[in-house]
Amino acid sequence: MAETLSSPLASSAMTLDQNFLIEAVTLQGQGQEAEAERRFRQYLTAHPADPVAIYSLCVVLLRRQDLQEALTHLAHGTEVAPHFAPLWAAYASALHATGQRDAALAAYDRALALKPDYIEALVNSGTLLRESHQHLAALERFNKVLEINPDYETALGNCAILLTEFKRSEQAIGMFQRLLHINPNYDYGLGLLCYERMHTCDWTDFDEVVTQITDGVRAHRRVCKSLGFMAINDQAADHQACARIFAAHKFPAARPLWNGERYRHDRIRIAYVSPDLREHPVGHLMAAIFEQHDRNRFETVAISLGIDDQSRLRQRMLRSFDHFIDARTMSSPQIAQRMREMEIDIAVDLAGYTSDSRTEVFAFRPAPVQVNYLGYPGTLGVDYMDYLIADRHVIPPNHRQYYDEKVVYLPDSYLPAAGGIEIAERTPTRAECGLPDEGVVFCSFNHDYKIAPHVFAVWMRLLKQVPGSVLWLMSRNELSQRHLREHALQHGVAPDRLVFAQRVPRVEDHLARYRQADLFLDTHPYNAHTTAADALMAGLPVVTCMGQSFPSRVAGSLLHTAGLPELATDSLEGYEALALHLARHPEKRAALRARLNAQHRKAPMFDSVTFCRQLEAIYTGMWRQAQLGEVRDELGA
Place 2 in a pLDDT band, splitting at 50, 70 and 90: low
Place 475 in a pLDDT band, splitting at 50, 70 and 90: confident
Residue 549 belongs to a domain: yes
Q: Examine the domain organization and report whether 584 and 451 are in the same domain.
A: yes
Q: Which amino acid is at 596?
A: L
Model confidence pLDDT, tens digit, residues 531-565: 999 999 999 999 999 999 999 999 999 999 999 99
Q: Examine the domain organization and report whether 465 and 597 are in the same domain.
A: yes
Give the domain-ending residue among 99, 132, 165: 132
Q: So what's the pLDDT on residue 605?
A: 80
Q: So what's the pLDDT on residue 19?
A: 85
Q: Examine the domain organization and report whether 534 and 402 are in the same domain.
A: no
Residue 11 belongs to a domain: yes
Give the domain-ending residue among 72, 99, 132: 132
Q: Examine the domain organization and report whether 389 and 519 are in the same domain.
A: no
Averaged pLDDT, 403-413: 97
Place 21 in a pLDDT band, splitting at 50, 70 and 90: confident
> 3-class DSSP state for residue 91?
helix
Q: So what's the pLDDT on residue 344?
A: 98
Give the domain-ending residue among 409, 424, 452: 409
Q: Examine the domain organization and report whether 448 and 319 are in the same domain.
A: no
Please tell me the distance from the alpha carbon of residue 244 to that of residue 526, in angstroms, as a whole number. Answer: 20
Q: Examine the domain organization and report whether 355 and 494 are in the same domain.
A: no
Place 18 in a pLDDT band, splitting at 50, 70 and 90: confident
Task: Quote the number of domains for the chain.
Answer: 3
Q: Examine the domain organization and report whether 379 and 449 are in the same domain.
A: no
pLDDT at 7 over 70: no
Whose CA is closest to 153, among 190, 196, 186?
A: 186
Averaged pLDDT, 576-594: 98
Q: Examine the domain organization and report whether 58 and 2 are in the same domain.
A: yes
Residue 370 belongs to a domain: yes
Residue 96 belongs to a domain: yes
pLDDT at 12 over 90: no
Q: What CATH number is associated with residue 480?
A: 3.40.50.2000
Model confidence pLDDT, tens digit, residues 89-124: 999 999 999 889 999 999 999 999 999 999 999 999
Please tell me the distance from the alpha carbon of residue 566 to that of residue 588, in angstroms, as a whole number. Answer: 12
Which residue range(s) make up the domain with 19? Answer: 1-132
Place 11 in a pLDDT band, splitting at 50, 70 and 90: very low
Question: Which residue pairs from 76-82 have beta carbons closer than 8 angstroms and sit at least 24 positions apart in sequence?
Answer: 76/48, 77/51, 78/107, 78/110, 80/48, 80/49, 80/51, 81/49, 81/50, 81/51, 81/54, 82/110
Residue 469 belongs to a domain: yes
pLDDT at 9 over 50: no
Q: Examine the domain organization and report whether 340 and 467 are in the same domain.
A: no
Model confidence pLDDT, tens digit, residues 453-470: 999 999 999 999 999 999
Residue 559 belongs to a domain: yes
Please tell me the distance from the alpha carbon of residue 478 to that of residue 362, in angstroms, as a whole number. Answer: 38
Q: What CATH number is associated with residue 286?
A: 3.40.50.11380
Question: Half-sphere exposure (CA, 13 Å, Cβ side) for 129?
Answer: 22
Within 8 A by CB and 6+ apart from 464, the residues are 491, 492, 493
Q: Examine the domain organization and report whether 566 and 466 are in the same domain.
A: yes
Q: What CATH number is associated with residue 108?
A: 1.25.40.10
Residue 205 belongs to a domain: no
Averaged pLDDT, 228-253: 98
Averaged pLDDT, 503-521: 95
Q: Examine the domain organization and report whether 492 and 400 are in the same domain.
A: no
Q: Examine the domain organization and report whether 446 and 587 are in the same domain.
A: yes
Within 8 A by CB and 6+ apart from 495, the residues are 485, 486, 488, 489
- The percent of residues above 90 in pLDDT, for the chain, comes to 88
Residue 319 belongs to a domain: yes
- Mean pLDDT rounded to a whole number for the chain: 94
